[in-house]
Amino acid sequence: MELLKERIRRDGCVKEGNVLKVDSFLNHQMDVALLDEIGKEFFRRFGGEGVNKLLTIEASGIGIAVMAARHFDNAPVVFAKKTKSKNLDGELYTTKVKSFTKGVEYDVQVAKRFLAPTDRVLILDDFLAKGQALLGLIDIVSQSGAQLVGCGIVIEKGFQDGGALLRSKGVRLESLAIVDKMDCNGIVFREA
């Protein structure tokens, strides 16, 4: 997605530890017009698949999934929660996820009443690095018996192994921008 790549080139910032900072437009301050185009692109790729539910993980995936949902006939967005609170009641699907950015492992949960075997689920998230967040979400979908249509990622870091791991498991994974190399000299994207 050329518009996204241009924006990453312009405003993205490469940090130590293989972290790409895009907080001026994607996951802190959010450019709503760009998010709308991202949602449109996810629909172009997955629109024919009968998706009726979008699943993501808090916090950065939520804005992306909500904007995308407008293009998927206002399909409900469910986000996996990282903390248990009194608001999270009833039976839960739980799985473990190791955070790439924080380095810690934590439980994530989704209330069972929001995912059913009749659902056709598209998982969306902001980044793909080692694939732990997606593997956790896929595990939750499989516990629920719902059908996984695929995973849509805004920025895949192609030099880390998450993408290869998921594709080797037969998951339909679509990334709108794949970064093959990033350092102080700049960012190199994979050709579409």
Residues that bind ligand 5GP (CB under 6 A): 19-21, 27, 60, 100-101, 125-133, 157, 162
Query: Minimum distance from CB of 149 to ligand 5GP (Å)?
Result: 19
Written as one letter, the residue type at 100 is: F
Choice between 147 and 160, CB closer to ligand 5GP: 160
Choice between 32 and 106, CB closer to ligand 5GP: 106
Query: Minimum distance from CB of 61 to ligand 5GP (Å)?
Result: 7
Query: Minimum distance from CB of 89 to ligand 5GP (Å)?
Result: 25
21 vs 11: CA distance, rounded Å: 9
Choice between 3 and 19, CB closer to ligand 5GP: 19
Q: Would you give the distance in Å from CA 119 to the centre of its chain?
A: 18
24 vs 157: CA distance, rounded Å: 19
82 CB neighbour count, 10 Å cutoff: 14
Query: Minimum distance from CB of 153 to ligand 5GP (Å)?
Result: 9
Query: Minimum distance from CB of 77 to ligand 5GP (Å)?
Result: 15
Choice between 92 and 165, CB closer to ligand 5GP: 165
Site of tokens 């080692």: 130
117 vs 128: CA distance, rounded Å: 26
Q: Tell me the two tokens of residue 90.
A: 């009833």
Query: Minimum distance from CB of 105 to ligand 5GP (Å)?
Result: 11
Buried b (16+ CB within 10 A) or exposed e, 4-31: bbebbeeebebeeeeebebeebbbeebe
Choice between 9 and 21, CB closer to ligand 5GP: 21
Choice between 52 and 125, CB closer to ligand 5GP: 125
Return all residues near 102 (Cβ < 8 A) that are at least 6 apart.
Answer: none
